[in-house]
């Protein structure tokens, strides 16, 4: 059974940094692509960053140069380092996974992976 457990969300001042963590259970990083999505209440979910089996990455334009996705294969964990946060980054952040790539991995709007964590809240105040 696939289970994704996020942590690291917090309230931070604009310009600050946070590191989100995701522990993945029931999947192998040799088969499952990983990523981070986010959602603001009343808005559509949107992709933030994705990571392929071979460590290729994709980033949404609104986080390029500020966020970095990475993983620790030995601990089955994925991370999202977020720097220079702005109030517009306030959202619930979800760790996601899917067996295989596809449109969701390329962050195409309206396409979503199969597996989601419970989310971790990030609040950025000015």
Where are any strands of DSSP class E within 26-112?
32-39, 46-51, 57-59, 67-72, 77-82, 91-99
The pair of three-digit structure tokens given for residue 74, joined into one six-digit string? 């030995």
Closest CA to 86 of 18, 2, 1, 6: 18
**Rounded Cα gap, residues 8 and 83, in angstroms:** 14
Q: Containing H/E element for 4? A: strand 3-7
**Rounded Cα gap, residues 83 and 52, in angstroms:** 22
The pair of three-digit structure tokens given for residue 126, joined into one six-digit string? 């000015």
Beta carbons of 122 and 67 less than 8 angstroms apart: no
Mean pLDDT, consecutive 10-residue segments, the chain of 126 residues?
Answer: 97 98 95 96 95 96 96 96 97 96 90 96 97
**Rounded Cα gap, residues 50 and 113, in angstroms:** 11
What is the pLDDT, as a whole number, of residue 79? 98
What is the pLDDT, as a whole number, of residue 101? 85
Q: Containing H/E element for 81? A: strand 77-82
**Rounded Cα gap, residues 117 and 33, in angstroms:** 14
């Amino acid at each position: 059974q696939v289970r994704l457990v996020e942590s690291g969300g917090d309230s931070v001042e604009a310009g600050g940094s946070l590191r989100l963590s995701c522990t993945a259970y029931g999947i192998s990083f040799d088969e499952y692509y990983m990523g981070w999505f986010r959602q603001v209440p009343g808005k559509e979910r949107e992709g933030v960053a994705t990571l392929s089996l071979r460590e290729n990455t994709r980033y949404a334009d609104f986080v390029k140069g500020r966020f970095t996705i990475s993983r620790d294969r030995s601990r089955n964990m994925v991370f999202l380092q977020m720097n220079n946060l702005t109030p517009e980054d306030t959202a619930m952040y979800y760790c996601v996974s899917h067996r295989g790539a596809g449109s969701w991995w390329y962050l195409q709007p309206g396409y979503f992976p199969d597996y989601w964590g419970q989310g971790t809240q990030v609040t950025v105040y000015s």
